[in-house]
Amino acid sequence: MNKIAHLKLPKLQDLAVRVDASAFYPSIADWYTNQGTAFVRVGNILNFQLIEKDLLFLLQNIVNKFKSIRKGVPGDIVISKGGTVGNVAMLQEKYPIYALSRDIILLKTSKLPRDKSVTILLFLGSKFGIFQLIRGASQQIQPHLALSLIRNLLVPDKTVNEATRLYDEALNKISISKSFYLQAEKFLLEELGLKDFEPEDELSYVVNLYDVKSAHRADAAYFQPKYTKIEEKLIKDFNAKKIKYFDFVKVTTGQYSEQYATQTDGKPYIRGTDLSKGTIEIDNLVYIAPNKQNPLKKAREGDVVVTRVGTIGISARLPKEVEGGTISDNLIRLRFKEEILNSYYVSLFLNTIGSQLMIRASRGSVQARLTQETLREIILPIPPKPTQEKIADLVIQSYKARKMAKNLLEKAKREVERFVDKNRIKEK
């Protein structure tokens, strides 16, 4: 506080920035849709970005009906106030309006000059902003940010042009990263002959009793003909086989642990929440003490993991940064020979067509679960090696662009911190 007190910074409320938050959390599954209004939760905010993984959408009539749902527009800033407190992001132009969960604080910065809004965003995510947020969080059962705290945050009213430039360059790299990943998905579906192959759910169909007994299933959704059509096409055109018939693919679950170590003393402990766009988000990793690791559950670069509980069928290739860590018990690991199967290809397949098949194969009435046995029943096509390598190249380019974006955001944040330090020295 001594460092920023010398600057005589204004409070956020002095900049005519309205601070607000929702008081309502839609909890009925029927209120969600595939399009509608984008619904932002705590898990969607990370590293100055709005993460689209697990982004939900609300029916428009629900958004209109409940006035306690606060709405943001592109250019507004959102802050997580519950759970992991203090993560910040700016709403982007992809959606015209965003509905916010009750664990999100909204800063109406869209009417400020953009470079000023970006400076405030980066300041809040810098050591000076995070310090104020964590220091002021109420310590009840979980840390929590009050609106009064946010209104009284000290923020710069000047702009840092270089920081804005770096931030915009980072957004461009994020866009490029998404483009490469979409190209990889499109190329994969084209090569598998599934680009325009969209079998729909049928309202009625007949299933032989023998098939019901063989599958040990009696739920209608499992026998939807669309799944059979996808499998038949992959088997016919690519000689696809069930994973259990590939003797070079080893399948195992991870290790349960609720005892964590520090990053300095521990090894990465990889959970389902760490998976994103076919890789691992390393910024929010927790760590496990080396003497608590099960050697059989250790991670190796090139391993492919899939989520087995919660949101079924999310897959990721483990990068070099988590090698030697431990896979959690809510993941299933596939380990195989890279000279036969490209790990980037396998992860992408499991995130697209494979994801549908895994959701279908999962079991459980209260909470769906995917087991090792059911994963082994999923079919896996093996395209020619050049096809796998082209898919891998596109995915790798996507990851490189993401990494560059992350570095640019870090540089932008440091520019704001340097600006604060520099002006503090002048004030002295």
Q: Which residues of the chain are in CATH 3.90.220.20 domains?
A: 2-156, 183-390
141 pLDDT tier (thresholds 50, 70, 90): low
The strand pair at 37-40 and 98-100 is best described as: parallel
237 neighbors 384 (Cβ within 8 angstroms): no
Measured CA to CA, the distance from residue 382 to residue 191 in angstroms comes to 11
97 neighbors 37 (Cβ within 8 angstroms): yes
Task: Name which of 52-61, 260-269, 286-295 the model is least confident about.
Answer: 52-61
232 pLDDT tier (thresholds 50, 70, 90): confident
Q: Say whether domain 2-156 belongs to CATH 3.90.220.20.
A: yes
Tell me the percentage of the chain whose pLDDT exceeds 70: 90
C-alpha separations of 237 from 197, 241, 367 in Å: 14, 11, 35
Q: Could you tell me which residue, 41 or 216, shows the higher pLDDT? A: 41
C-alpha separations of 357 from 323, 351, 398 in Å: 28, 10, 25
Measured CA to CA, the distance from residue 11 to residue 301 in angstroms comes to 47
332 neighbors 305 (Cβ within 8 angstroms): yes
CATH topology of domain 183-390: Adenine-n6-DNA-methyltransferase TaqI; Chain A, domain 2 (3.90.220)
Query: What's the mean per-residue pLDDT of the chain?
Result: 88
145 neighbors 3 (Cβ within 8 angstroms): no
Per residue in 241-251, pLDDT (tens digit) is 999 999 999 99
